[in-house]
Structure 1
């Protein structure tokens, strides 16, 4: 599976224990903002709403029961292993 550099960076952060926190609009139908956090609590600036939608459409990330989005098994298989992504 072809994954862009930005998708790779976000998936690495999620694989190391990060999460994507989402916010709904007033109607509760659409996600309007997202924030990607590393496990240390730092915000990842590379994660945009368009990137989030691509990852979700490909089923590389998922949310269970309204919780923050985390990486799926498919996402773990798609991400290339690196020693450190900093």
Structure 2
């Protein structure tokens, strides 16, 4: 499956325990999405079109208004990367 570098980067952060927090407007539409690493840092290259692509492809999901996490499809799609800590 073809995944862009930006999608791959976000999925890798989510696979390590990160999350995507979202904010909705008065109509219930998502207007902001921020990707947080497991350490609490914000991933700089996360934007709303990228969030929508990941959600449309089923790589991320949320239950009962909780932050978005990686799904099983997202775990299968992400390629292994070294953790450069």
Asked if residue 45 in structure 1 is aligned to residue 40 in structure 2, the reply is: no
Cα distance, 1:85–1:12 mapped onto 2, change above 3 Å:
farther
User: Which of structure 1's runs of 4+ aligned residues deviate more than 4 A?
Assistant: none
* Residues 18-44 of structure 1, C-alpha deviations (whole Å, 9 max, x = no match): 00000001122x100011000000000
Quote the RMSD (CA, aligned, Å). Answer: 1.1
Q: Distance in 1 between matches of 2:84 and 2:12?
A: 7
Return the TM-score normalized by structure 2: 0.96
Is contact 1:61-1:75 (8 Å) kept?
yes
Aligned to 2:22: 22
Note the C-alpha offset of 1:85: 6.1
User: So what's the TM-score if we normalise by structure 1?
Assistant: 0.94
Question: Gaps spanning 5+ residues in structure 1: where?
Answer: none
Structure 2 gap segments, 5+ residues each: none
Using the alignment, how far apart are the partners of 1:68 and 1:25 within structure 2?
16
